[in-house]
Structure 1
Amino acid sequence: MKTRVAVIFGGRSSEHAISCVSAGAVLRALDRDVYDVIPVGITEAGHWVVEDDDPERLVIRDGEMPHVRADRDPVTLGRDVEGRVVLTSITGSTLGVIDVAFPVLHGPWGEDGTIQGLFETVGLPYVGSGVFASAAGMDKGHMKAMFRIAGLPVGPYEVVTNRDWITEREATLARVAELGFPLFVKPARAGSSLGISKVRDEATLVACIEQARVHDPRLVIEAGFEGVREVECGVLIDVDGIPRASACAEIVVKGSHEFYDFEAKYLDDSADLVVPAQLDADTVAELQRLAILAFDAVAGEGLARVDFFVCADGSIIINELNTMPGFTPISMFPRMWAHGGVTYPEVVQRLVNDALVRGAGLR
């Protein structure tokens, strides 16, 4: 009997479209001789629907981003009278038993521990990190605090909460300015570089904070580093259950982009993704070591992508960790593993197998 996999994508976050693109690649990679696949989309309004098993619809075409169709009848996830995890239509009919979930969700209400909590509640095995690690990995402020506790090299930063901004604006601005310029203003719980601004002076700081607050009322503001190299490393659970680090890759931004923003990532081909990064063997080994330490610091499971800055003097600063990195065909995570001989379908199969072995519940 085939394993039935629910590939869950879309969602209510601002990364809805990127989630769809990632899911299209996962759907394409799952071997239909091994798996029964149910594509489950979550609309931007939060309704769950069964989507067509059509990866070609979930691609970016001429700058147009895909979305989950909102004209489908909603479904729910829960347990039936026999204790099986099933999808159920609004009419009450069962659409099928689910063996494992592959949540290809980016951002809040999907990558942040919320949907992982649902899976744990119904007892459904799922790909990726659990509730705690997903929540910690989603919030850049808490993540950096955990990295510091673990002794990892973290750059200077400040967390700006909604209360800080509303009740202590001037004190907050003064605290942030002590980081020096340039600095980066980021939504604490968003990804795909949405809402991020590089700020070169105090004149534009307030406007950039307000822009980031459109995506999240909680912000992380980081000291900027000039002349650094942006390097990433993937972590993937091996067949023996041990986390392994991938080859490292470097992002080289071109043209008018000052950093690796949303347009450079997905729309206008303004970055070179160099795999493997041209670094000496000792630096690569240290990046791989730190990537696994970061993974363990947040109690990661399944997979992660860890982002670093490599400074001119050879020192390393850890920037952040993503518990569900981009899975699009051009994303760094699958490309780094492909360089090491692990193909995209093999990555997907390894993650599904790991989820089934781990199961749900305390572990």
Structure 2
Amino acid sequence: MPISVGIFFGGQSREREISFAGGRTVYDHLDRKLFTPVPIFVDSLGNFILIDAQYLYQGTIREFYPSASVANFEGIPLYIESLPATESHALFIKKIGKKIEPADFSKYFDVAFLCLHGPYGEDGALQGLLEWYQMPYTGSGILPAALGIDKIFQQKLLQQAGFLVPPSMLLRQKEWRNREDTNKLLDQVIAAVGLPFVVKSSRQGSSIGVTIVHQHDPHAFTTAVHKAFFMETISYDSWKSHAPADQKAWFNRLIDPREGIGFPLLVADQICYTPHALLDYLTLYFQKHREPILLISTQAEAVIIIEAFIEGREFSCIVLEAEQDHPIALPPTEMHKGKLHFDYRAKYLPGIVRKQTPMALSSSLLDAIRKQAIALFQLLDCQVYARIDGFITPKNEIILNDPNTTAGMHPASFLFHQAAEIGLNPTQLLTFIIKCSLEVRRDKGYLMAGSLLKRLEASL
């Protein structure tokens, strides 16, 4: 009898759409002789929904949930959190599947395959929930996941362990909002980290909230900081100059959590759950006031990182745990992007960036990258697999900057790209991840994991 695999995708983070695409890939490529896939859509309110498989093949989440036909702003589809807080969501859930509770997970599947990214999925929160109910799951445990998402703690840990890290400084939201002189703060940043520098959120992935500032430009600096915090200032002049088409384009960007700050958001002393409410607020506000107004995401970052820009060749290296406590690093992939910033669009839209695996380096440098990737994997006590990103500088210095305990599962991901170099197709790789994860959970005392592993090994 095949093992039932609950595929968790979607989620509450800004990376929900890439997680949605990854869940679909896992669903399509899971070996049906060994496993029965059970799609578990996690919505942006934290509901777990046993979703009808037909909805996996929609382009984006908000096309079908809540429903582009009934939840939209001037034709722009909304996410479920953009509906009024008093709105009943039960009907929307019933339309696409069935809500299930964590205490009942074992009734629907045997092991959880995690495709969630960012906060509430890749930070140890979901891992902790599954551990509470002794449900086996894929990938790293609570501690590695928590360390892997916290870029601030990572830098401290890497530096203490002897890894190279770029000069950096932290900027807290309270400090930024209470600043008296933007020029003076910019001078302090340049003195600390130099030019150009990178402004980025401390708990986001997929290059969301990342900007490179190339020169002493207070406006560019302010824009970059606001993007990293997920806040935005709108002035009287800019609002009044918006034609209807411009206003619609602005709302379209604002609604999308990848590009804008998303909803709900804070404006002055109240929460706006919908674009309609924000439009009404801004219309009334600018009838009486000329001062700019600040919009802040309810999921805004409390602190952001500003660090020196690293001149070098950018790479990503997948590490697999061939046997427990014996990780191997796959051939690293280089991103050929020219002068393009490797942002969300460059990462996930085909044709923008070319990937080369393995990157064109001497065998000794390739080995050095792989050894450092393994060392970081072990430092964070990762399990099963991880994706380690970094740069190699013109002086052949290796700088690792972003360990990910849940690698992307979309078809063009580094995970599948590099696994192909060692002869593993996507179906074989997913089987490996499940088998290795069951071994890890068994050794952690999960009774169910041991029996599932025996069943899988017998089938293999």
Alignment match, 1:320: 402
**Corresponding position of 2:336:** 252
Q: Give 1:287-306 correspondences, 5 Å limit.
A: 287-306=369-388
Kindly report which structure 2 residues correspond to 1:331-346, keeping only aligned pairs within 5 A, or say none.
331-346=413-428
Select which of 106, 110, 133 maps to 1:122: 133
Asked if 1:72 is matched to 2:156, the reply is: no
Q: Deviations over 1:163-199 (max 9, x none)?
A: 4434567686454322011111111111111111111
Q: Secondary structure at the match of 1:237?
A: strand
Matching of residues 15-94 of structure 1 within 5 Å: 15-54=15-54, 57=57, 69-70=65-66, 71-73=92-94, 74-79=98-103, 85-86=105-106
Shift of the 67–320 alpha-carbon distance from structure 1 to 2, 3 Å rule, reads farther
Q: Is the 8 A contact 1:304 1:321 kept in 2?
A: yes
> Deviation digits for residues 127-178 of structure 1, max 9, x if unmatched?
1111111111111111121111221122222222334434567686454322
**Aligned-residue offset at 1:52:** 2.5
Superposed CA deviations along residues 94-139 of structure 1, whole A, max 9, x for unmatched, are: xx34221111001111111111110111111111111111111111
Which residue identity lines up with residue 126 of structure 1 in the other structure? Y
Seen in structure 2, the aligned counterparts of structure 1 residues 200 and 134 have a Cα distance that, compared at 3 Å, is: same
Paired residue secondary structure (1:247): coil
**Deviations 1:246-288, CA, capped at 9 Å, x for gaps:** 011100114xx63111111122521110111001001000100
Equivalent of residue 161 in structure 2, options 150, 173, 176 = 150
Assess if the C-alpha contact under 8 Å between 1:154 and 1:317 holds in 2.
yes
Whether the 8 Å CA contact 1:197–1:208 is kept in 2: the answer is yes
- Cα 1:239–1:349 shift into 2, 3 Å: farther
Distance 1:243 1:128 in 2: 13
For these two proteins, the number of residue pairs brought into alignment is 343
Distance 1:67 1:357 in 2: 38
RMSD: 2.3
Instruction: Give unmatched runs, 5+ long, in structure 1.
Output: 87-95
Q: Relative to structure 1, is the Cα distance of residues 288 and 4 closer, same or farther in structure 2, using a 3 angstrom cutoff?
A: same
Q: 1:109 to 1:360 in 2, by over 3 A?
A: farther
Contact in 2 for aligned 1:179/1:223 (Cα 8 Å): yes
Q: Which has the higher helix share?
A: 2
Which one of the candidate residues 181, 191, 199 is aligned to 1:185?
A: 199
Return the letter of the residue paired with 2:101.
L
For residues 153 and 45 of structure 2, the distance between their equivalents in structure 1, rounded to whole angstroms, comes to: 28
Q: 1:217 aligns with which of 298, 302, 327?
A: 302
Q: For the Cα contact (< 8 Å) 2:50–2:99, is it kept in 1?
A: yes
SS at match of 1:335: helix
Q: How far 1:346 sits from its partner (Å)? A: 1.6
Q: What is the correspondence of 1:94-243 to structure 2 with a 5 Å cutoff?
A: 96-167=107-178, 173-177=186-190, 178-203=192-217, 204-214=220-230, 216-226=301-311, 228-239=312-323, 242-243=326-327
Could you say what secondary structure the match of 2:206 adopts?
Answer: coil
Contact 1:182–1:198 at 8 Å: present in 2 too? Answer: yes
Cα distance 1:169–1:156, how it changes in 2: closer, same or farther (>3 A)?
farther
Bigger CA radius of gyration: 2
- State the shift of 1:25 in Å: 0.9
Task: Summarize the Cα distance change of 1:35–1:172 in structure 2 as closer, same or farther, 3 Å threshold.
Answer: farther
Give the counterpart letter for 2:327 in structure 1: P
Kindly provide the CA deviation profile for residues 205-228 of structure 1, in whole angstroms up to 9, marking residues without a partner as x.
Answer: 1221011111533212220123x1
Alignment-mate amino acid for residue 176 of structure 1:
V
SS of the residue 1:273 aligns to: strand
Q: What is the distance in 1 between the residues matched to 2:329 and 2:63?
A: 33
Report the secondary structure of 2:330's partner residue: strand
Hey, what's the Cα distance between the residues in 2 that align with 1:108 and 1:240?
27
Q: Alignment partner of 2:302: what SS?
A: coil
* Runs of 4+ off more than 4 Å: 64-68, 167-175, 360-363
Q: Distance in 2 between matches of 1:253 and 1:236?
A: 26
Query: Aligned partners of 2:110, 2:406: CA distance in 1, in Å?
Result: 20
Deviation at 1:342, TM superposition (A): 1.9
How far the C-alpha of 1:68 sits from its partner, in A, is 7.0
Deviations for 1:4-38, whole angstroms, at most 9, x for unmatched residues? Answer: 11000000111110001111111111111111221
Structure 1 residue 307 corresponds to structure 2 residue 393: no
Distance 1:233 1:109, change over 3 A: same
**Given the two structures, how large is their TM-score scaled by the length of structure 1?**
0.87
SS at match of 2:406: coil
TM normalised by structure 2 equals: 0.70
SS at match of 1:191: coil
Q: 1:66 to 1:348 in 2, by over 3 A?
A: farther
Give, in whole Å, the separation in 2 of the partners of 1:25 and 1:55: 13
